[in-house]
Amino acid sequence: MTNKFDILIESFIANKIGIDKHFLNPVLAAHLKNNLLQLVQENKLQTAGTGNEDVTLINTNNRSDKIYWLDKKNNNIYENQFFDLMDELVTYLNSNCYTGITGYEFHYTCYPIGSFYKKHFDQFKNNPSRQYSLILYLNDNWQTADGGELCIYQNGICQQIAPENGKSVFFKSNELEHEVLITTHERLSITGWLKTN
């Protein structure tokens, strides 16, 4: 029996980069996008930094996106549906891939025009809890001229991934260096990490 996570995980096993072009259904993606745009309009996003809760550095020469952390305490109906989907994914990974995931964290991400995020790894040097990175895109009708591709490096070669609506990208947080290329159009996503204790 086919599971809704099979495409993502089978492509990850084959290439170390899992991609599912239709991971988020269009209705949920639209609602999450509307949530994010409302937060942008209300000026509730914060300038993103690098580091963790102990050491966070703001350096707009390294990254220039803005973020808003998702929290179940907000009790937003659509974000709760997203969390339900993540709970299902964790159950799938732990049951079928023995990953030992115990939690996750996600934030909305907005890259205004001209924004970028230079090469980096997602796992902190002083905290190895982030095991897998997961990005879900919320951009309708994304065009090549819009830029903003995710560039993931393997063996010195960059695989460019367009941030198209509903698409999800999944990879090991400590293995693959990656960057977000300069965007010429506002770029929206949910970015997060599946974690172990």
pLDDT at 1: 46
What domains are defined for the chain?
A: 6-48+60-195 (2.60.120.620)
**In the predicted structure, residue 188 carries a pLDDT above the cut 60:** yes
Q: How confident is the model at residue 125 (pLDDT cuts 50, 70, 90)?
A: confident
Higher-confidence position of 61 and 36: 36
According to DSSP, the residues that pair with 171 across neighbouring strands are 133
Full-model pTM: 0.93
pLDDT at 56: 56
pLDDT at 57: 65
